[in-house]
Chains A and B, each alone.
Chain A
């Protein structure tokens, strides 16, 4: 097979699909090229859980045969991708990133894997993750069966968690896109640290059938990709009602970027203090510039703050109680002690003791929160905030430190938007927003439930003007 052009590895999914349709290369050549790269570079970033070269080449050959008959299923047809290793692929190990489950094999594909197969996408690899998606809380980036996820922008730094391998693999050009999952921060943080575009759908829009459950009332599955357009196409493929997920909202999604009201005049809530004093000083110029782009697009920026709730305590209690229930046998059998991170072990053990009254109180508060957030959105169309207040940390740094103190004048702002929006089940779009100290900086857009098309439209316009998403690391170090 002739070598693929070097620019293939950092092209978008829809771009690769278009080139495949023009017969610039075959899907088999594409899959083989990405598999070679996964095999060679995946271990360098601790991103690879399992290479699926054989099935990928067979699936790609089928795509080529369809193209020969002029049948193109859509913008993901013939395009390789990777899946976080908490999504089952029938007959292959699905480790959940954790030693006690390293021999685990499921009989069925996860619903999202099956849906992407139906779109003609080619699953090339299972990608590493933080063990059990970090449900017990973890202290070090090394809390994974495959070691710490290393950041392609600087391999002495973390790629973020818990979708660590999904983000590292896309950033390093090992796959054009990947599936990740988020319970609280697990798509947003890796996207911010690795300079990628990610989408966390509204709770219930994407089925979790065949995915590891951590917190059934908060888990979401979404794409990690190179562009907003790709995220739209991927969500289009994976969204929809599913009997295999009791949390399914029974809603479908159609990516319609050109329909809907104009962005000009839309009301976007933000908190100036989040950009100017909560975020680290190195990030502020990039964040300021990104905010200015949204202003130039025509969004009407309005100061906003979250309603007063104990967000972190609610999220910790709900994820802790549900996660400990899901993994009760693991904890009680003692097998939990095979996990890599001491704090994660202790966190799961302690969470098994959360009283029912506290879990129920947190869930009651959550219902009130949903009402308060709905009220906030009566005057706003979306919220804009920094995705993280710092760049990717060194892999040796403890992750559970107190963090930088928040200045007293900062007020509540939107700095707990990650916890609040995950608790309320709101969709979020994560965008690369420039660089600080040569490391990526991320921006987060949050919308009303099922407002993904609006977020995507705002993100598309942002990427038309900024091009940060087209940057990729120079891997020649």
Chain B
């Protein structure tokens, strides 16, 4: 059993353990190959590129730079 993936409780190691546990019962059960075809993946990439271009066109002032501050 594990903690959720929400917020501070999430870690890569916990994920790996959880994923291995979740996948264990499935080992040996052949799944239908579900890999998307290259054209579908390309289409998704293309769609995301469209969104990225739309975002890049927008002008953003410097004062919105993400800040890093030491916490007390």
Question: Taking beta carbons and an 8 Å cutoff, which residues of A are in contact with B?
Answer: 88, 91, 99-108, 110, 137, 208-213, 216, 244-247, 309-310, 312-314, 316-317, 320, 326, 329-330, 333, 335, 337-340, 342-343, 345-347, 349-351, 353-355, 358, 360-365, 367-368
Contacts and interface: CB of A to CB of B under 8 A. Distances in A.
Contacts of A343: 36, 40, 44
A108 B3 contact: yes
Nearest to A244: B7
Nearest to B24: A103
Given A330-B19, A350-B48, A246 B54 contact: no
Contacts of B9: 244
Contacts of A339: 34
Contacts of A329: 12, 15-16, 19
B50 to A, nearest CB: 7
A7 to B, nearest CB: 38
B25 A103 contact: yes
A364 B19 contact: no
B55 A365 contact: yes
Contact of B45 (A313, A350, A364): A350
Chief secondary structure at chain B's binding surface = helix
Given A335-B19, A345-B36, A346-B36, A104 B2 contact: yes
B33 A362 contact: no
Given A310-B58, A345-B36, A361-B60, A338 B26 contact: yes
3 closest Cβ contacts across the A-B interface?
A313-B51, A350-B44, A346-B36
A437 to B, nearest CB: 31
A104 B22 contact: yes
Chain B residues touching A, range: 35 or more
Point out which of A108, A110, A247 has the most chain B C-beta atoms below 10 A from its C-beta: A108
Contact of A354 (B2, B25, B48): B48
Interface centre among A100, A358, A367 (most CB of B within 10 A): A358
Contacts of B48: 316-317, 320, 350-351, 353-354
B23 A335 contact: yes
A5 B61 CA distance: 63
B66 interface: yes
Contact of B1 (A105, A354, A363, A364): A105
Given A103-B21, A314-B55, 18 more contacts: A106-B4, A209-B4, A213-B5, A216-B6, A246-B8, A316-B48, A317-B48, A317-B52, A326-B10, A337-B35, A345-B36, A350-B45, A351-B44, A351-B48, A353-B48, A354-B52, A365-B55, A367-B64
A326 B55 contact: no
Contacts of A102: 22
Contact of B4 (A211, A309, A310, A362): A211
Nearest to B62: A364
A331 B15 CA distance: 12
A353 B44 CA distance: 11
21 contacts: A100-B22, A100-B26, A104-B2, A106-B3, A107-B2, A108-B3, A212-B5, A212-B6, A213-B7, A245-B6, A247-B7, A310-B55, A313-B54, A316-B51, A317-B52, A343-B44, A345-B35, A349-B41, A360-B66, A364-B66, A365-B60
A358 B52 contact: yes
Given A208-B6, A345-B34, A350-B45, A107 B58 contact: no
Interface of B: 1-10, 12, 15-16, 18-19, 21-26, 31, 33-37, 40-41, 43-45, 47-48, 50-52, 54-58, 60-61, 64-66
Contact of B3 (A107, A246, A247): A107
B61 to A, nearest CB: 8
A95 to B, nearest CB: 9
Contacts of A247: 7
A232 B2 CA distance: 32
Contacts of B21: 103-104
Contacts of B19: 100, 329-330, 333, 335
A246 B6 CA distance: 9
B7 A312 contact: no
A102 B23 CA distance: 9
A210 B6 contact: yes
B16 to A, nearest CB: 6
A345 B5 CA distance: 20
A203 to B, nearest CB: 14
B54 A310 contact: yes
Contacts of A99: 26
